A and B are shown apart, each in its own frame.
Chain A
Amino acid sequence: MEEAVRAQEAAMEIQDLNVWYGTAHAISNVTMPFREHQVTALIGPSGCGKSTLIRCLNRLNDLIDGARIEGRMCLYGQDLYDPNLDVSALRKRVGMVFQKPNPFPKSVYENVAYGLRVNGERSRRVIDEVVERSLKQAALWDEVRDRLHKNALGLSGGQQQRLCIARTLAVGPEVLLLDEPCSALDPIATGKIEELLYTLKARYTIVIVTHNMQQAARVSDVAGFLLMGELVEFDQTETMFTNPTDKRTEAYITGRFG
């Protein structure tokens, strides 16, 4: 089965990752690849380090005072912690959608255009085009087409989350990190986002954190189970959900703890 996992090229890879918050050891010795055009799901009980792990992939943990990160991480072979690396350029390639919808207090249009604007894009035509395309990709276009210039905070929670996805897509990333994107959404919005992941998979490498086992089973190709900062099991989703190797994985998946 390891063979099957390794079949495709890894877009991102982490080796021996250790993260400390002060003295608390949040991630210990995690090694895993994230393959191109696959959806990798990260599951595990609350506080096991899922968010910490994916925030390492676009170096957002840099912002946290007292966080210490060790280990090797790369994006298509390029070291993420290379001191010469342009972090903002990296973050353009590795987009992220957060657990809670966090649109800017600007118009819908400006939210999606934000990545382009900070990139120095000035052409109105290009921006219009990208905004429309991204909103369509995020399955939001029909709902907001006639309120593009209204404040984004007026959208519903599910619309806001899809707007955040559109905002991330507009930057044109190669890897998409999704931290529990559906935790605040109703089943219909969740269904829309899951559908979206199917279509996006063809173009992006996706890492998704979720607490919902059914969701993990539905959307992901491979899955990793984290427990107290350790990667307990990492395998094809189908295998993990039907025939887990580790007792703890089985217990978690079947809902006996966590």
Chain B
Amino acid sequence: MKDRLYTWLSGMMLGLSLIMIASLLGFILYMGLGAFWPRPLWQVEDGTGKVYLGVVQGREYMRDVGRGTWDVGSGFTRTFYRIADREFYGTDFVWLNDHEVIRRTKPKDAVVVERLEWGPFFGFIRGIETPEAKISDENRLLPQLHEEMRAARARAKKIRHIERHVIGKLNDAMERERLALRRNELRYGLGAQGMERVRAAHEEAMRRLEERYGKIAEELTVLRSQDEAYRVTLATVEGFKKELPISSIVRVHAPNSLSWFGRLGVYASRLKEFIFDEPREANSEGGVAPAIFGTVLMTLMMAVAVVPFGVLTALYLNEYAHKGPLVSAVRIAVNNLAGVPSIVFGVFGLGFFCYLVGGTLDRLLFAERLPTPTFGGGGILWASFTLALLTVPVVIVATEEALVAVPRSYREASLACGATRFQTIWRVVLPSALPGILTGMILAMARGAGEVAPLMITGVVKLAPELPFDLNFPFFHLERRFMHLGFHIYDVGFQSPNVEASKPMVFMTALLLVGIVLMLNWAAIVIRARLRTRFQGAQI
């Protein structure tokens, strides 16, 4: 009787946890996946003659407080519209009381224009102007704009290539020159013999680089002014005109006349931008590619750092150390380490890795760059190490459990064959414990990928100008600061000037983070399954 009660109780608890997890995931999925779906644009007129063009964001029931009754019938509903056009309205959103609205239509030619600045624009296309032609035929405007955008994208790509790569390379070369001079100065002293010649050579090299820079800048100005000549004129629903270069438009569509497939196309295009592009507009729009890259790279680096560290510690504790009060104390300390608030690890990481280790490295290897820190500040390497430290107890505990679970008879058999202790560990104990060790790694990765607090002081930034990987030697720049999805959620959701507008980003980013953690874990689980069949035999 009692037995059955306990079975029920534990079953219910399991069910409860499952329901909570499922509803959390479901909520994020619903909010995130729906965010990019193009929704209709409503043209709304209220009694005062004001007209709005917006997307419905929500609706709520207001109780009529004035009359002080609790009757359901005595209130009214109001609707929350996103009206965009920030430069004209100053705000992105309005609440409109439904009973004051006198007309609500869905104009076929209303467009949503996503642009590089000022957020989206809801309105109408009035005209297109290119050096070759002026178009104002209403039916041709949207297709023509799409066509012009393709051409504009090619121009923008060229400009961006010059800005990024050509100028980037030049800057890199100048920096190298400056550092080379500084290195020589540090090594031989400012007034050393021959320093004059070195300095003259440096100046000559710099002058040549500056010259090239000037030429490229000129070229850029020309390209930009050419690009500026392709313009589109937009108008808000109230008739305010807005003219902007076509290349500053990211995407344009008329949601009210889109077919289902058309909507799907817009959705796919937004999703693609989200995953593969860089953020725009203080992170509230555009993509999160750098944050994805930073999260994955950091998690992998952390896993690579934490496993050997944790496994060696566990091996020592379990295989070599003589059991006694000291080992027990160490074990307790390790377990308690898991309970230290993660921000404390962050502070430790900042003090130890960034300032002490990084600072020393800077003095020894990168003296010419000082006082600008190289490794002496936050960076992805130190952030990974800090997280490795944070998650090492997980790996130690999991590994110890795995080691204890290796049957004693395996060790005895190995030793009886004349294997040394190390050979026994390496050839018999570790392979048998490997799945358990990988479980520890999986847990550590799951814990580490979602951790934000310690990263905020060891290297995460809201917008990293450069990835920790690029095509400039030595390709991996592990000293660089980086972006992280977890921090991105915090930043976009709570630090951005326009929190309401960036809500979809928050949910999508959360979804993505969960997805990435899931994928990393899944990969590790697949590897573990492979190893398990390889080392332990499937057919038992």
Binds A, one of B36-44, B287-295, B414-422, B479-487: B414-422
Taken together as a complex, chains A and B put the C-alpha atoms of A119 and B418 apart, in Å, by: 8
Which of A98, A102, A103, A115 is within 8 Å of B418, CB to CB? A115
* Interface contact A65-B423, CB-CB below 8 Å: no
Q: A88-B420, A92-B418, A115-B418 are in contact. Are A60 and B413 (CB under 8 A)?
A: no
- A residues 90-121 in Cβ contact with B at 8 Å: 91-92, 95-96, 98, 100, 102-106, 114-115, 117-119
Contact present for B420 and A118 (CB under 8 Å): yes
Q: Which of B322, B417, B538, B539 contacts A171 (CB under 8 A)?
A: B417
Mark interface residues in B68-112 (1 if CB within 8 Å of A CB, else 0). Answer: 000000000000000000000000000000000000000000000
> Which of B128-136, B234-242, B271-279, B404-412 is found at the contact surface with chain A?
B404-412
- A58 within 8 A of partner (CB): yes
Query: Are the CB atoms of A154 and B537 closer together than 8 Å?
Result: yes
Inter-chain contact A102/B415, CB cutoff 8 Å: no
Residue of B nearest to A62 (CB): B415
CB proximity of A116 to chain B, nearest CB, Å: 9
Shortest distance between the CB of B424 and any CB in chain A (Å): 8
Which of these, B409, B428, B431, B432, contacts A98 with CB under 8 Å? B409
Beta-carbon contact of B412 and A114 below 8 Å: no
Please tell me the size bucket of the interface on A: 20 to 34
Query: Which residue, B323, B411, B418, has most C-beta atoms of chain A within 10 A?
Result: B418
- Asked if A150 lies at the interface with its beta carbon under 8 angstroms from chain B, I say yes
Interface flags for B368-408 (1: CB within 8 Å of A; 0: not) read 00000000000000000000000000000000000000010
**Residue B535 lies at the interface, judged by CB distance under 8 Å to chain A:** yes
Whether a CB of chain B sits under 8 angstroms from the CB of A153 is yes
Given contact pairs A65-B322, A102-B407, A102-B410, A118 touches B423 in the complex (Cβ within 8 A): yes
Q: Is A168 an interface residue (CB 8 A)?
A: yes
Central interface residue in B407, B413, B431, by most chain A CB within 10 Å: B413
Whether A151 lies near B538 (C-beta < 8 A) is yes
Whether the pair A151, B427 counts as a contact (CB closer than 8 A) is no
Bound CA span A225–B419, Å:
32
User: Does residue B540 face the partner (Cβ distance < 8 Å to A)?
Assistant: yes
Known: A65-B322, A105-B535, A151-B539. A100 touches B417 (CB 8 A): no
- Hey, which chain B residues are within 8 Å of A35, CB to CB? none
Q: Is B495 an interface residue (CB 8 A)?
A: no
Interface centre among B413, B417, B420 (most CB of A within 10 A): B417
For the complex, is B171 an interface residue (Cβ under 8 Å from A)?
A: no
How many Å lie between the Cα of A60 and that of B537 in the bound state? 27
B427 near A114 with CB under 8 A, answer: yes
For the complex, what is the distance from the CA of A153 to the CA of B409, rounded to whole Å?
A: 14
- Please determine whether A114 and B416 come into contact, CB atoms closer than 8 angstroms: no
Interface string of A114-133 (1 = CB under 8 A from B): 11011100000000000000
B536 touches A105 (CB 8 A): yes
A164 close to B (CB within 8 Å): yes
Q: Among A63, A100, A151, which residue has its beta carbon within 8 angstroms of that of B415?
A: A63
Contacting pair B416 A100 (CB below 8 A): no
Do residues B413 and A118 form an inter-chain contact, with CB atoms below 8 A?
Answer: no
Which listed residue (B412, B416, B427, B540) contacts A153, Cβ 8 A?
A: B540
Contact check, A63 vs B417: say whether CB atoms are below 8 A apart.
no
A188 interfacial contact with B, CB 8 Å: no
A7 touches B (CB below 8 Å): no
Shortest B44–chain A CB gap in Å is 71
Tell me how far the C-beta of B217 lies from the nearest C-beta in chain A, rounded to whole angstroms.
Answer: 64
Tell me, in angstroms, the Cα distance from A102 to B417 when the chains sit together.
Answer: 12
Interface 1/0 per residue, A53-94 and B, CB below 8 Å: 000001010010100000000000000000000001101100
Q: How far is the CA of A167 from the CA of B412 in the complex (A)?
A: 13
**Given that A114-B417, A168-B417 are contacting pairs, would A65 and B323 also be in contact in the complex, using a CB cutoff of 8 Å?**
yes
A100 to B412, CA, bound (A): 12
What chain A residues lie within 8 Å of B417 (beta carbons)?
91-92, 95, 114-115, 118, 167-168, 171
- Of A58, A151, A153, which is in contact with the most chain B CB atoms at under 10 Å from its CB? A151
Q: Is there contact, CB below 8 Å, between A89 and B539?
A: no
Q: Closest CB-CB distance, B519 to chain A, in whole Å?
A: 30
Contact with A along B527-540 (1 / 0, CB 8 A): 00000000111111
Complex CA distance for A117 and B414, rounded to whole angstroms:
11
Chain A contacts of B416 at CB under 8 A?
58, 60, 91, 95-96, 98, 168
Which residues of A132-168 have CB atoms within 8 Å of chain B's CB atoms?
150-154, 164, 167-168
Closest to B423 in A: A118
Measured in the bound complex, the distance between the Cα atoms of B428 and A212 in whole Å is 33
In the docked arrangement, what's the CA distance between A115 and B413, Å? 10
A151 and B540 within 8 A (CB): yes
Docked CA distance A90–B420 (Å):
11
A117 to B432, CA, bound (A): 18
Q: A105-B536, A151-B540 are in contact. List 17 more A-B contacts (CB 8 A).
A: A63-B415, A88-B419, A89-B418, A91-B416, A91-B417, A92-B418, A96-B416, A98-B409, A98-B416, A102-B410, A105-B535, A114-B417, A115-B418, A153-B539, A154-B537, A167-B413, A167-B417
7 A-B pairs whose Cβ atoms sit less than 8 Å apart in the complex: A89-B418, A91-B418, A95-B417, A96-B416, A102-B412, A153-B537, A153-B539
Q: Which residues of A contact B (CB under 8 A)?
A: 58, 60, 63, 65, 88-89, 91-92, 95-96, 98, 100, 102-106, 114-115, 117-119, 150-154, 164, 167-168, 171
Closest 9 CB pairs of A and B: A151-B537, A92-B418, A102-B409, A118-B419, A115-B417, A96-B416, A105-B536, A91-B418, A118-B423
